[in-house]
Copies of this chain bind each other. A is one copy, B any other.
Amino acid sequence: MPLDATASGLFPIAPTPFTPDGAIDHGSVETLIGRYLAAGATGVTVLGIMGEAPKLEPEEALALTARFIKGFGALPVIVGVSAPGFAAMRALARTVTERGAAGVMIAPPPALRTDDQITGYYRQAVEAIGSDIPFVIQDYPLTLSVQMTPKVIRQIVEENPSCVMLKHEDWPGLEKISALRGFQEEGTMRPISILTGNGGLFLDFEMERGADGAMTGYAFPEMLGDVVRLQREGRREEAHDLFDAHLPLLRYEQQQGVGLAVRKYVLMRRGFIASDAQRKPAPALSVAARAEVDYLLARLARQDERARL
């Protein structure tokens, strides 16, 4: 089933599990899928920045995607297809769609600056991949250095009917969610799904501002799913209590450069993946850092049983 604007809940950004010698660990891929489903995932995103997509060979990327599509069954799989050229983007987008992906995610290239450059890029991208493939805008200025205003996002949405979702990870970004929902209320933008990233650092309030869920890779996807659910049920205090209990670890994971190392280490300790190996080039976690993560896990376990290892 193709992705549409009603998507919500928890879409983990899947890391790519590697063995210590750098091969894809297919066994861990299966484990990961099982754990995500058990955690309440309503979809999943593969080949994102945190999935080390640029380090995969093309055939590896396709094989990995196929496993997630199979494992997630009827649930939507979104595939990152950002590429320097439209030919490669088109080839990947069409191939994964044929194989069952529900939609694709497109990040703007870092050189884009002006509003016209950004909206023009998405028009060209849709022309390239075809307007029949639902797509997600990735709005991640901290890493991509491209800044999209709410008006630019609205223009992309309005110009491209196949745009169904925003992966929101601007920072700060709470006002952006409010502005986009305001556009919808005043009738100047059709509804889209907004899932939020940034490791979840502002998920507590993002849900209150109108987000539909989380699309990020924090090593406790269960917590992300719970906060989304609690907020949608109006159980605000419980949502914040749970979120706050995780914040010290979540904050620790939110370090540019070493963040993925922390995330994979925790996922390994939790049994989601067998090894925390990354493909080179990648920073390693020091002994001191691992001890700090262990300490944070131990403290978290007092409030959330799932952190007891």
Q: Could you tell me which residues of chain A, from 184 to 223, have a CB within 8 Å of some CB in chain B?
A: 201-202, 204-205, 208-209
Q: Given the complex of chains A and B, what is the CA–CA distance between A152 and B251 in angstroms?
A: 28
Q: Given the complex of chains A and B, what is the CA–CA distance between A275 and B255 in angstroms?
A: 34
Query: Is A63 an interface residue, CB under 8 A from the partner?
Result: no
| Contact, CB under 8 Å: A149 / B289 | no
Q: Could you tell me which residues of chain A, from 140 to 195, have a CB within 8 Å of some CB in chain B?
A: 147-149, 151-152, 171-172, 174-175, 178
Q: Which residue of B lies closest to A257 (CB)?
A: B172
Most B C-beta atoms less than 10 A away, residue of A54, A116, A256, A281 = A281
Minimum Cβ distance to chain B for residue A283 (Å): 9
Q: Given the known A-B contacts A255-B171, A258-B172, are A280 and B128 also in contact in the complex, defined by CB atoms under 8 Å?
A: yes
| Contact, CB under 8 Å: A171 / B114 | no
Query: Is A234 an interface residue, CB under 8 A from the partner?
Result: no
| Contact, CB under 8 Å: B113 / A84 | no
| Contact, CB under 8 Å: A279 / B248 | no
CB-CB contacts of A81-120 with B at 8 A, as 1s and 0s? 0011111100100000000000000000010011111000
Residues of chain B contacted by A121 (CB below 8 angstroms): 281
Given contact pairs A85-B280, A171-B256, a sample of 13 additional A-B residue pairs in the complex whose CB atoms are under 8 Å apart = A55-B84, A55-B88, A57-B91, A87-B280, A113-B113, A114-B147, A114-B149, A115-B152, A117-B149, A172-B255, A178-B286, A202-B251, A244-B248
> 28 A-B residue contacts at CB 8 Å?
A54-B84, A54-B88, A55-B86, A55-B88, A57-B88, A57-B91, A85-B280, A85-B281, A87-B279, A110-B110, A113-B147, A114-B147, A114-B149, A114-B152, A115-B115, A115-B149, A116-B149, A117-B147, A117-B149, A172-B258, A174-B292, A175-B286, A178-B286, A209-B288, A240-B248, A240-B299, A244-B244, A247-B251
